[in-house]
Amino acid sequence: MIQVIQADYQNKVHRAAILELINLYACDDMGQNEPLDAEIKSRLLDDLSARPWVHIFLAHENEEMIGIAVGIEGFSTFNSAPLINIHDVYVKSNFRRRGVASALFESIEATARQFGCCKLTLEVLDGNYPAQKAYRKIGFVPYTVNDIAEVAQFWQKHLQ
């Protein structure tokens, strides 16, 4: 049975799972196709734990950690209310299409409701059709504020 917990940065099992799952995601085709840089890996847990607005959700089946979702609190000015942006979602390949992502999203949504959030947001790559299908099934739709502006795009500018 799949269960989801919020990660505790003081728990050695959770710490190991966060590093393992984020590194697997980084190695994935929908990640960066390569492992995390050793320097980043060495400080990631400390950097995450220093940010109380970052929430890590871990899915496990029995003793194996099989999925992760990283939620980051934000704020909707149009709603004058908090939101959670689901920044990273990863499920081990041999556990995909078994409801792991749905379980992760149910926990995130419950937490968001506790915080009084107005919505959940996420980014998804144009070519990641399996994720898009899963997100639509969960109730997500492409973001737009009105019919004139069309669908939002997620852009970036590297600073380093």
Task: State the Cα angle at 64 between 135 and 61, rounded to 5°.
Answer: 60
State how far the Cα of 20 lies from the Cα of 108, in Å rounded to an integer: 21
Residue 154 has what DSSP assignment? -
73-107 as b/e: b if 16+ CB within 10 A: beeeeeeeebbbebebbbbbeebeeeebbebbbeb
Q: Give dist(CA 127, CA 139) in Å, integer.
A: 19
Q: How much is the pTM?
A: 0.92
pLDDT at 147: 85
DSSP H stretches of helix in 28-57:
38-49
Strands of 2-6's sheet in order across:
2-6, 54-61, 64-76, 81-91, 119-122
In this structure, the strands spanning 64-76 and 81-91 are antiparallel
What span, in angstroms and rounded, lies between the C-alpha atoms of 133 and 11?
A: 34
pLDDT along the chain (160 residues), means of 10: 96 97 96 95 97 97 96 96 96 94 96 97 92 93 89 87
Residue 146 has what pLDDT? 86
